[in-house]
């Protein structure tokens, strides 16, 4: 297995009172999977993602990626954050270049890579624009391009579309899906929107809160992604609804 | 677009109106206040004097020397305040030491150091430069320290994600991230320092706008005194507007909402 999560719990102290954010999480992810963590707020899905990305450590249990325990962020596993995380003093091009600066690449190599990813997210014409000159959707695309440019093995996304309007959201979802099909990266995606999870993921991990735990893991058949009039789509949506109702 | 133009025009109209009211008030006090006109000259006479001072080139000389002292003192203050503020802001125990010190020293009016500065550095440009330095130093220092403390955590997380190590984190992330707050401190410092320019030039020098004020008092020339005050006000306004313009550009660039 590529990513292994074994018996992971996470406890926080809130006003000196311990709160169990996650309880006994076990999950395996294969290389090239598109996993979605689905659940209401407070179910610990972001907490788990943060630990997988190395920003935080589990209270008990272990998270291993490619066989080694995760204990710090790495260029091999890049996170696209909630909201905007571009550096406002850098242009789109320079923002995408940020991660590449930590790699041993020549200037011209960096330039080639940046241009390639600018093109991939359709922002070649906006290469020299600063974040304040771009729309929310464009910024989010730059952020995704920045994550992809370092060629990571895993991409973590924490509700990266939450600040976008519906139309922009749909178009970025489509480009993410294309990117995943073309590059076969492992993607772990956090969402609280059922439709989004079905559209993007090949497996949906449903969380329930207090304490955060996994209640069901559902495989998404390819046919379900073809549209909301497909019987597979309806079936899976009903199943998720059902799971959510009984677990809350 | 059209709306903002009209808004800007109205702003200018209000400003002109305010100045006009002030001048009318001044004229009325001269006419009905019962003061000796040799002590309180009317606006028109003051503007005439101002015109003469400009024509003779005398004013320009004083303005030049004042601006020179101001920029030397201010630049030194910015350089020192920034450097010290960045170092102190990065090291927690240093900021605990510096905080009580600044609280103790800051309330002392810069002019209070004047006799001491004259004793140490003698008369000449130095005392004026030092006063301006002291006035501008604290705002720059304090805003730099507080900015480095409240840097947005997102940026530090981005740095961790992309494995950016020190000293690159400092130059690539921290310094640019706090730049707008530093610019704001520089703006505050500029205003404070301009206020103390005149005080700094009232003793020990034979040139500059502050000297001009003292000189006109000694020679009983209130029209020169009031002309100089007008010049100080207008120059201060221009300096402030220039810095505001840059600050606005910086804030827009950094995505900071102002007003």
User: Is the Cβ pair A87, B164 closer than 8 Å?
Assistant: no
pLDDT tier, B18 (very low <50, low <70, confident <90, very high otherwise): very high
In this predicted model, what pLDDT tens digit does every residue of A169-188 receive, in sequence order? 888 888 888 888 887 889 99
CB of A145 within 8 Å of any CB in chain B? Answer: no
Report the pLDDT value the prediction gives residue A233, as an integer from 0 to 100.
81
Most confident of A173-182, B164-173, B223-232: B223-232
C-alpha angle B148-B73-B230 in degrees, rounded to nearest 5: 110
Q: How far apart are CA B244 and CA B159, in angstroms?
A: 31
For residues A9 and A53, membership in a common domain is answered with: yes
CB of B162 within 8 Å of any CB in chain A? Answer: yes
Per-position b or e across A158-190, b if 16+ CB within 10 A of its CB: bbbbeebeeebbeebbeebbebbeeeebbbbbb
Instruction: Give me the sheet containing A3-14, strands edge to edge.
Output: A17-29, A3-14, A60-65, A68-69
* Domain termination residue (choose one: A103, A128, A151): A151
Contacts of B180 in chain A (CB under 8 A): none
How high is the mean pLDDT of chain B?
88
For residues A70 and A175, membership in a common domain is answered with: yes
Q: Tell me the torsion sign for CA atoms A219, A222, A223, A228.
A: positive
User: Is the Cβ pair A89, B254 closer than 8 Å?
Assistant: yes
Read off the CATH number of the domain in which A202 is found.
3.40.50.300
Contacts of A83 in chain B (CB under 8 A): 154
Rounded to the nearest angstrom, the gap between the alpha carbon of residue A23 and the centroid of all alpha carbons in its chain is 21
Contacts of B165 in chain A (CB under 8 A): 102
User: Is the Cβ pair A98, B162 closer than 8 Å?
Assistant: yes
User: Is the Cβ pair B255, A132 closer than 8 Å?
Assistant: yes
Residue B213 has pLDDT above 60, yes or no: yes
User: Is the Cβ pair B162, A88 closer than 8 Å?
Assistant: no
Could you tell me which of B183, B194, B211 has the C-alpha nearest to residue B74?
B194
In a domain, residue A194? The reply is yes
Nearest chain B alpha carbon to A146: B162
Write the burial class of residue A42 (CB in 10 Å: 0-12 exposed, 13-18 middle, 19+ buried). Answer: middle
Q: Domain ranges for chain B, please list them.
A: 43-253
Report the pLDDT value the prediction gives residue B258, as an integer from 0 to 100.
46
Q: Write down the architecture of domain B43-253 according to CATH.
A: Orthogonal Bundle (1.10)
Going by their DSSP bridges, the two strands A34-38 and A203-208 should be labelled as parallel
Report the pLDDT value the prediction gives residue B256, as an integer from 0 to 100.
64
Per-position b or e across B19-29, b if 16+ CB within 10 A of its CB: eeeeeeebeee
Q: Which of A21-25, A227-231, B43-47, B159-163 has the lowest mean pLDDT?
A: A227-231
In a domain, residue A221? The reply is yes
Rounded to the nearest angstrom, the gap between the alpha carbon of residue A144 and the centroid of all alpha carbons in its chain is 10
Residue B153 has pLDDT above 50, yes or no: yes
Residue numbers of A between 77 and 96 with CB closer than 8 Å to B:
78-79, 81, 83, 85, 87-89
DSSP letter at B171 equals I
Q: How far off is chain A from B246, nearest CA to CA, in Å?
A: 15
A96: containing domain: 86-151
Domain count, chain A: 2
ipTM: 0.76
Q: How far apart are CA A66 and CA A130, in angstroms?
A: 37
Q: Are A200 and A189 in contact (CB under 8 A)?
A: yes
């Amino acid at each position: 297995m590529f990513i292994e999560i074994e018996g992971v719990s996470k406890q926080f102290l809130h006003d000196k009172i311990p709160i169990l954010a996650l309880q006994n999480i076990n999950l395996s992810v294969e290389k090239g999977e598109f996993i979605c963590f689905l659940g209401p707020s407070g179910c610990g899905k972001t907490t788990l993602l943060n630990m997988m990305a190395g920003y935080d450590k589990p209270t008990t249990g272990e998270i291993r990626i490619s066989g080694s325990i995760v204990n710090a962020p790495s260029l091999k596993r890049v996170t696209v954050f909630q909201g905007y995380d571009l550096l406002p003093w850098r242009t789109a091009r320079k923002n995408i270049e940020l991660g590449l600066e930590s790699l041993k690449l020549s200037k011209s190599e960096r330039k080639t890579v940046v241009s390639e990813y600018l093109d991939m997210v359709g922002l070649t014409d906006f290469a020299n624009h600063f974040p304040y000159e771009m729309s929310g959707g464009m910024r989010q695309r730059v952020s995704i391009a920045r994550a992809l440019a370092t060629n990571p093995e895993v991409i973590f996304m924490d509700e990266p579309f939450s600040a976008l309007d519906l139309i922009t959201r749909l178009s970025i979802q489509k480009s993410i899906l294309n990117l995943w099909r073309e590059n076969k990266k492992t993607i772990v995606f956090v969402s609280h929107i059922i439709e989004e999870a079905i559209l993007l993921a090949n497996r949906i991990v449903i969380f329930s809160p207090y304490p955060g735990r996994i209640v069901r893991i559902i495989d998404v058949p390819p046919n379900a992604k073809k549209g909301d009039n497909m019987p597979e789509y309806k079936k899976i949506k009903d199943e998720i609804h059902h799971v959510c109702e009984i677990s809350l | 677009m059209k709306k903002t133009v009209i808004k800007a025009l109205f702003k200018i109209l209000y400003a002109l109106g305010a100045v006009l009211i002030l001048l009318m008030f001044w004229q009325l006090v001269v006419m009905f206040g019962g003061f000796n006109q040799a002590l309180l000259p009317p606006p028109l006479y003051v503007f005439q004097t101002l015109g003469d001072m400009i024509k003779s080139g005398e004013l320009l000389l004083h303005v030049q020397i004042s601006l020179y002292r101001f920029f030397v003192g201010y630049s030194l203050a910015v350089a020192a305040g920034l450097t010290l503020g960045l170092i102190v802001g990065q090291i927690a125990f240093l900021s605990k030491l510096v905080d009580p010190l600044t609280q103790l020293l800051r309330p002392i009016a810069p002019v209070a150091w004047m006799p001491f500065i004259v004793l140490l550095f003698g008369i000449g440009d130095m005392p004026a430069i030092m006063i301006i330095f002291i006035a501008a130093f604290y705002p720059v220092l304090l805003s730099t320290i507080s900015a480095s403390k409240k840097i947005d955590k997102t940026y530090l997380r981005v740095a961790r994600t992309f494995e950016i190590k020190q000293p690159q984190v400092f130059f690539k992330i921290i310094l640019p991230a706090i730049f707008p707050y530093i610019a704001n401190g520089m703006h505050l410092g500029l205003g404070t320092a301009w206020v103390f320019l005149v005080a700094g030039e009232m003793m020990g020098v034979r040139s500059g706008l502050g000297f001009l004020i003292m000189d006109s008092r000694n020679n009983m020339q209130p029209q020169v005194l009031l002309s100089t005050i007008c010049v100080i006000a207008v120059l201060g306004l221009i300096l402030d507007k220039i810095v505001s313009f840059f600050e606005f550009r910086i804030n827009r660039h950094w995505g900071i909402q102002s007003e």
